[in-house]
């Protein structure tokens, strides 16, 4: 899997992480979605990794994804940020997987 993070998205991720210790995860969240194929992607900052997490190296650091949820993602992904909507975006070469992707800091107890 190849994940490209744009300069703008990298800057916003750095602002949100703000020196906190943790791991950046591209989470395919199915809670409240009704079924596994109706999940929503989001960026999570987590304190610990799960056994199912796989590291994907990017030009700005590692992102972790759940091996069991890779089937719902494309082989080539781009994480971008749009100032107009003030949110992250997850794109493939052919489509938006999530044009309004959230960032959640899960390191706070």
Residue 5 has pLDDT above 90, yes or no: yes
The reported pTM is 0.88
pLDDT, tens digit, for every residue of 89-104? 999 999 999 999 999 9
CATH 2.30.40.10 fits 2-105, yes or no: no
CA-to-CA distance for 16 and 104, rounded, in angstroms? 9
The DSSP secondary structure of 31-79, one letter per residue, reads TTSSSGGG-EEEEEEESS--TTEEEEEETTEEEEEEGGGGGGS-SEEEE
CA-to-CA distance for 90 and 98, rounded, in angstroms? 5
Residue 87 has pLDDT above 60, yes or no: yes
pLDDT, tens digit, for every residue of 30-50? 665 545 555 789 999 999 999
User: Where do the domains of the chain lie?
Assistant: 2-105
What percent of the chain has pLDDT above 70?
Answer: 91
Residue 82: the pLDDT is: 96
């Amino acid at each position: 899997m190849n994940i490209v993070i744009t300069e703008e998205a990298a800057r916003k991720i750095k602002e949100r992480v703000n020196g906190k210790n943790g791991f950046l995860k591209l989470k395919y969240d199915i809670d409240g979605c009704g079924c596994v194929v109706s999940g929503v992607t989001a960026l999570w900052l987590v304190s610990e990794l799960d056994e199912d997490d796989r590291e994907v190296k990017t030009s700005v650091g590692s992102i972790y994804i759940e091996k069991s949820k890779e089937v719902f993602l494309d082989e080539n992904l781009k994480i971008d940020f749009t100032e107009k909507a003030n949110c992250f975006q997850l794109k493939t070469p052919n489509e938006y997987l999530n044009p309004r992707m959230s960032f959640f800091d899960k390191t706070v107890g």
